Structure 1
Amino acid sequence: MTATTRDKMIAGAADLMSRRGVNATSMRDVVRHTATPRGSISHHFPDGKPQLIAEAVTFAGRQVSIPLERAMNERGVIGGLKAFVASWRRQLAATGFEAGCPVLAVAVDRYVGEPGDKDDAAAQQHLLDLADGVFADWRQIMHAALLREGLAAGRAERLATLVVASIEGTVAMCRASRSADALDQVQEELETILSAALAHTAK
């Protein structure tokens, strides 16, 4: 299926956010990055940059949640974890450790609108709510997989949070060090923790 101009702009915004953060991603930058007509901004995103960034957050969330849920369903918790980490490792390597997580960028970068925009505070809160929802979705996918393999709900929730928080934080560390070593180390420890938890349920 051929991507529409709107789709290209959303994907392009997510890519720029993953590399530069939210505030260094302008509407003009997105147009240049995606080679789309400048007039398409007002047509596809009448509410301006807040709308485009919000759409990019939702897009970025699905780019992770869909393959993550598939991997957890098809491979189980440990196999799904391996696939989750492998996807981040590929992204880091493919971008020369320039691109991280655009959802994390929203969480840590206070939103500043384009010239003429109003109510940055409301836009900031909306974006934070969206980012929180994406992280919650990823945790829920992991949580459901752990429940299927016999963990109690409370432990499954805590471990799901641990996995998502660990991977997100480690991706940022890898960008800083220009190395995937930290991701390899965290994966090994997470596999050990999850394997032990799952083995305990089998007793």
Structure 2
Amino acid sequence: MTSTTRDKMIAGAADLMSRRGVNATSMRDVVRHTATPRGSISHHFPDGKRQLIAEAVTFAGREVATPLEKAMRDRGVIDGLRAFVASWRRRLEATGFKAGCPVLAVAVDGYVGEASDKDDEAAQQHLLDLADGVFAEWRQIMRAALLREGLAAERAERLATLVVAAIEGTVAMCRANRSADALDQVQEELETVLDAALARTNG
């Protein structure tokens, strides 16, 4: 499928955010990174940087959610977890540990807008709400998979939160250490916890 200029800019913004954070990603940088016309900024994103960043958060959320949901449905919780971890490992290694999670970048990097922005505080709250929604969607996918395998709702909720929080934090650790070792360790421990929970349910 051919990407439109708008699609390229959104994907490019998400990529830059994953490497630099939100505030170090400018509209000019996105144009250069995606080799798109500068005039396309005002055409596709009339609300400027805040609109582009918001679209990039939504895009990044879908990029994880779609394959995660498919893996959980097709392969079950444990193999789905392995696929989830493998996807982050591939991204880290393919970028030389320079790129992490753009959604996490939004959650930890206070938004500072460009000169045309009128209300950075409102923009920051909107972006945090979007990031929270993405994390909630990922947790819900994990929770649904655990429910399908027989866990009680409350336990499934806690374990889903554990998995998403553990992976997100570990991705940041891997970037700092420039190694996937921590990801391997966390995957092993998460599998142990999930296996035990599922065994008790099925037993």
TM-score above 0.5: yes
Which residue of the partner structure matches residue 112 of structure 1?
112
What is the CA deviation profile of residues 132-163 of structure 1, one whole-angstrom value per residue up to 9, with x for unaligned ones?
A: 00000000000000000000000000000000
Structure 1: which 5+ runs fail to align? Answer: none
Q: Give, in whole Å, the separation in 1 of the partners of 2:114 and 2:36.
A: 19
Structure 2 residues without counterparts, runs of 5 or longer: none
SS at match of 2:12: helix
Tell me which residue corresponds to 2:62.
62
Q: Which residue of 1 aligns with 2:135?
A: 135
Q: CA deviation at 1:117?
A: 1.3
Looking at structure 1, the residues matched to 170 and 116 of structure 2 have their Cα atoms a distance apart, in angstroms, of 37
Identity across matched positions, percent: 87
Partner of 2:17: 17
AA at the equivalent of 2:122: A
Q: What is the TM-score normalised by the length of structure 2?
A: 1.00
Structure 1 residue 150 corresponds to structure 2 residue 150: yes
**What secondary structure is seen at the aligned counterpart in 2 of 1:28?**
helix
Please tell me the residue identity of whatever aligns with 2:18. Answer: S
Paired AA for residue 173 in structure 1:
M
Partner amino acid, structure 1, of 2:168: E
Counterpart CA distance in 1 for 2:143 and 2:95 is 30
State the secondary structure of the residue aligned to 2:25. coil
Quote the RMSD (CA, aligned, Å).
0.3
SS at structure 2 position matched to 1:14: helix
> Which aligned segments of 4 or more residues in structure 1 are displaced greater than 3 angstroms?
none
2:86 aligned partner? 86
Instruction: Return the offset for 1:167.
Output: 0.1
Counterpart of 1:44?
44
1:35 is aligned to 2:35:
yes
Partner of 2:183: 183
3-state SS in 2 of match to 1:85: helix
Residue type of the partner of 1:9?
Answer: M
Count of matched residue pairs: 203
Q: What is the aligned partner in structure 1 of residue 165 from structure 2?
A: 165
